[in-house]
Chains A and B, each alone.
Chain A
Amino acid sequence: MFAYITRRVLVTIPLLIIALYLVFVGVSMTSDPRADFYLCLPRCQDGFDRITEVYNLDVPIIVRPFVWFGQILRGDLGDSSSIGEPVWDVIKDRGWNTALLAVPAFLISASIALLLSVYSARRQYTFGDYFFTALAFIGLAFPSFVLALLIQNVLGVQLENWFGVKPFNTGRKSGEGLGELLRDMALPLLCLVILSISADSRFGRASMLETLNQDYIRTARAKGLNERTVVWKHALRNALIPLVTLWALSLSALLSGSIVTESIFSWPGLGPAFLTALGDTDLDLILGIVLFTGLITVIFNLIADVMYGVLDPRIRLG
């Protein structure tokens, strides 16, 4: 196990470096921080030189990423030009805000999806099963931006018009109290939960169905165990194995920030910061976020694989 993890980490590090290298070269090829200076060049030579020095523009583009790598190894992520703070602070603040949405969204959607998949699998081809299947299909067909706009419009805008009060706020602009925080979280949270439940419950249903049709479940029933023990103890444990992998992946996706949902509800998470950075070609912030989300993706993928091996002894990690 330890050898497996070590090898995976060793394989992953060069991959992350290559990814960051490609992002660095790609983004710097499409933008020039000195663009504004060319027009006034003889007069503003000082500024021109300073920018050149700050961004190491005198170093060839193919070598420049290594300067940044060296900087990273010294623990310095650089400064964000679009937000005006050190990149580390931006990632820390925004990452915290994103986690504030991501973790509850994950917990709520995972538990609801689990209940739904057990329900649907036990009552396959009944009205309830068809109903939730239809809901899941509709949920899967909604692009995140359509769903977010719909929720915002119906719950955030129209209800306000209907009742004359503002039932929900959008964005994180109000006070620090817990009640206000919960109110601000409600709509984006709802959106993220709906998006993840649809995929998870379809997956969980199929996994649960496959388990319930196994011979050992028939044995458990035949020896007279009551149905609750069979379903919740014997079947669920095995049905969970593929779900755990999916959960690890969807939590990593949620923690990386949801660009569309957070932007539409003006939630100050990683997603909008990434969009801003991309719009302003804020290279340091882009690289910082890619490093952060890449690490999360890689770590959670590893966790998923290791958990798979731990939960299912038949799978040897070699």
Chain B
Amino acid sequence: MADTLDDVQTISEPPRRVPIFVPGEVEGLTTVPQSFGRLAWRRFRRHKMAIVGAVGLVLIMVLFIVGPMFSDYAFDERNIADRLQGPSREHWFGTDEIGRDLFVRTAQGGRYSMYIGFLVAVMATALGTLLGAIAGFFGGWIDAVISALTNLVLIVPALIVLSVFSQNFGRDAIGLSVVLTLLLWTRIARVVRGVVLSIKEQEFILAARAAGAGNTRIIGRHVLPNVVGAVAVEVTLLLGTAIVLESTLSFLGLGVQPPNASLGTLVADAKGSIESDPIRVLIPGFCIVWIVLCVNFLGDGLRDALDPRSKTERG
């Protein structure tokens, strides 16, 4: 379905140069050797957009976490007398139909959206990395089964998975995150599988095997550390994708359910009065855009920073 999942999933650069950390080919050996981490940090710091993204993300998190402390209103406190007010000194973002303060609700919803986003990013990364590494390392029928699973996720629409699973998992943050994880692990699995395929043929794996290391040790100690760069970039993209997908589903009424609120449900609540009060739709909408924009900037910076082949200049 064109605008729920795929438009965010195609946010990718073409044949991405996968950051593989090849020992012995680290740049900077002509001068004083520097650790990969330090070089990456230096490149990251010079990447202006990445810094903008990081600062923007911190700013909105501070607003969401600290802001409500200065407000006199609770997240679900109703005050019918003050219903449907515009922004004022008393209610920064105005109030909704039953007089709840929209600033506090937006902050709460934003925290909820970001919480789900982080949860999905962590779980989908763990699942995708594990399955991708297994598929790439062992190949054969295991690879075939995992690839079939990836294609299956492509065919079954996200909304069906969601509406079926939500009956069994409940519709709290954890349940929703589990379902979104099931939908979003495939991309990371494909990336990790590709990296592992190219790593496992290298000599240091052969050397480890000759030294008597078992599969578990080789995957854990030799293969996965080399995947970290590629995964770090994917995680940020995944975070953005997860937040967009969650808010879209919540907007359609299939995601977060009342009494909880996320940025998506806030937009859905305000949708009916868009003609008279567009601000109410725009504020949570722009919060989503802000978060995703910052996350994408951050991902772009990380991609440049973690690619060992890129020099200090942007490539």
| Residues on A facing B (Cβ under 8 Å) | 12, 15-16, 18-19, 22-23, 26-27, 29-30, 102, 137-138, 140-146, 149-150, 152-153, 157-158, 192, 195-196, 199, 202-203, 206-207, 210, 242-243, 246, 249-250, 253-254, 256-261, 263, 271, 274-275, 278, 286, 290, 293-294, 297-298, 301
Contacts and interface: CB of A to CB of B under 8 A. Distances in A.
Interface residues of B, number: 48
Contact of A254 (B2, B4, B157, B282): B2
A261 B3 contact: yes
B211 interface: no
Given A140-B11, A143-B244, A253-B7, A274 B157 contact: yes
A260 B251 contact: yes
B155 interface: yes
Nearest to B153: A19
B14 to A, nearest CB: 4
A226 B290 CA distance: 44
A199 B11 contact: yes
B148 interface: yes
A302 to B, nearest CB: 11
A267 to B, nearest CB: 12
B148 A15 contact: yes
B3 A260 contact: yes
Nearest to B295: A141
B135 interface: no
A244 B148 CA distance: 24
A250 B14 contact: no
B235 to A, nearest CB: 17
B151 A15 contact: yes
A229 B127 CA distance: 48
Contacts of B278: 153, 157-158
B302 to A, nearest CB: 15
Interface in B6-34: 6-7, 10-15
Nearest to B165: A26
B35 interface: no
A301 B154 CA distance: 10
Contacts of B161: 26
B1 A259 contact: yes
B207 interface: no
Given A30-B163, A102-B2, A271-B1, A146 B289 contact: yes
Given A141-B289, A146-B285, A149-B271, 11 more contacts: A19-B156, A137-B297, A138-B289, A145-B252, A152-B274, A192-B2, A192-B3, A206-B13, A256-B1, A259-B4, A271-B1
28 contacts: A23-B156, A27-B160, A27-B163, A30-B164, A137-B297, A141-B289, A143-B285, A143-B292, A149-B267, A149-B271, A153-B278, A196-B7, A199-B7, A203-B13, A203-B14, A249-B6, A249-B10, A250-B6, A250-B10, A253-B2, A258-B3, A260-B3, A261-B2, A263-B252, A278-B160, A290-B155, A290-B160, A294-B155
B280 to A, nearest CB: 11
A297 B155 CA distance: 7
A290 B164 CA distance: 14
A210 B15 CA distance: 10
Contact of B288 (A143, A207, A253): A143
A148 to B, nearest CB: 8
Contacts of B12: 203
Contacts of A286: 160
List the 4 closest pairs (A to B, CB-CB), nearest first: A144-B3, A258-B2, A146-B285, A26-B164
